[in-house]
Amino acid sequence: MAKITAGIGSSHVALMGRAIDMGMAEEPYWKPIFDGYKWTRDWIKEEDNKPDVVILVYNDHMTTFDLKVVPTFSIGTGPYFNPADEGYGPRPVPVVEGAPDLAWHITNCVVNDGFDLTICNEMDVDHGLTVPLSAMFNQPAKWPVKVIPIAVNVIVHPIPTGRRCYNLGKAIARAVESYDKDINVQIWGTGGMSHQLQGARAGLINSKWDNMFLDRLAEDGDALADIPHEEYVRQIGSEGIEMVMWLVMRGALKDKTRELHKFYHVPCSNSSVGHIVLDNR
């Protein structure tokens, strides 16, 4: 049977991708950020840790979706996903290979479990998905894993609650565990951490709150699921609401997990960067 062996949380700051693409990762501003991912880059290469498939939870930044169509939860079921043009051309990264058989299995199971996913046989994927891949795998000629995109609406209200995201993770875990192929699956939750891009509080960073969330993620994920939207916005900014996507990842793991690696840095662009690796074995 398939197993979810680990969960990874990571920011997906757009300028991290540009820094990698432009060869700036070793410059003084960027080096401390990417140094925080070196442990994971080494860990994920090891045979027991290398995933066959990554279920990658992210939000589309109005590239595949726009205000005409705003699905709450969607899943990529296609064989591949092209990097999106976000206004300055697609990132120079490999095409993302999908895992259609597992994606359709998850879709069937999760819909029957009470979650109505929007099915995307074709979708372009933006920095929300490709930046975490670059953070973990750098600049390969081909991504070393297959990816199932799970896009969550955190742009247009109403936004799904943390509890709903957490329970979606549990439904995904049940689906993966019923898949009859012996494969190593990881689930990644991306977005955040504290940042606000507009208004009087633009540039807001709340390191204390960010670190509270990271510290509790391994042992107390269920309690984090009940944080209301207003608390995210008040404490970590309007774009900080992206943290509910980490709860999809956390919900897919066992109640008790083991923290393998944790990293936090300020600033990255006008955001903070958080990263965590949780062992589900």
Hey, which residues are catalytic here?
127, 195
Q: How far apart are CA 129 and CA 108, in angstroms?
A: 23
List, in order, residues 6 or more apart from 51 with CB less than 8 Å away. Answer: 5, 6, 44, 145, 184, 185, 186
Peptide bond into 228 cis (omega under 30): no
In the three-class reduction of DSSP (H, G, I as helix; E, B as strand; rest coil), residue 190 is classed as strand
Please, is 65 exposed, middle or buried when counting C-beta atoms within 10 Å of its C-beta (0-12, 13-18, 19+)? buried
Q: How far apart are CA 151 and CA 59, in angstroms?
A: 5
Give the H or E element holding residue 33: helix 31-35
**Pairing relation of β-strands 271-279 and 118-120?**
unpaired
Contact (Cβ atoms closer than 8 angstroms) between residue 245 and residue 12 = no
Contact (Cβ atoms closer than 8 angstroms) between residue 272 and residue 205 = yes
**198-205 contacts: CB < 8 A, separation 24 or more?**
198/238, 199/238, 201/237, 202/270, 203/270, 204/236, 204/237, 204/240, 205/266, 205/267, 205/271, 205/272
User: Could you tell me how many helices (H) and strands (E) the chain has, helices first?
Assistant: 10, 10
Token pair listed for 160: 């799904």
